[in-house]
Amino acid sequence: MDYQKYVQMLKAMADPNRLKIIDLLSCGSLCACDILEHFDFSQPTLSHHMKVLQNAGIVAARKEGKWQHYTLQAEFMATFKQDTAQLLSSDDQCVCHDVTCTACASGKVVVTNEKN
């Protein structure tokens, strides 16, 4: 998986306001002014947050007249779930395969690395 891209998604999501924006968009598209109504911060701040979400590939923007419509990227929803599952599983591509535990190898403790 694309480690760097996954971290960028996590960083973009790791803000309570941006997480709420994602939640608001989970049912469909919304324009900026409607999103803004749910928050206390200023309009430029929302503009900043939307740019962060776009750069992370989470949100797509489409302009129609005066309004800027935002939608969750389908690819993000799929990729993020997939990357998360892979991170928390110990499959063949896991980085932990060449890892040993010094304490365990010394025979002084009972803890064992399940993969060795």
Partner DNA sequence: TACAAACATAGATGCGCGTCTATATTTATA
Partner DNA sequence: TATAAATATAGACGCGCATCTATGTTTGTA
Binding site for a copy of itself (CB under 8 A): 3-4, 6-7, 10-11, 13-16, 19-20, 22-31, 33-34, 38, 62, 64-65, 67, 69, 72, 77, 80-81, 84-85, 87-90, 94-97, 99-103, 108-116
CA-to-CA distance for 60 and 40, rounded, in angstroms?
A: 23
Q: Which does 2 bind (CB under 5 to 8 A by kind): DNA, a copy of itself, none?
A: none
Q: Which of 18, 7, 3 is nearest to 59 (CA)?
A: 18
Partner touching 13 among DNA, a copy of itself, none, CB below 5 to 8 Å by kind: a copy of itself
Q: Tokens representing 79?
A: 């990729």
Give the single-character DSSP code of 2: -
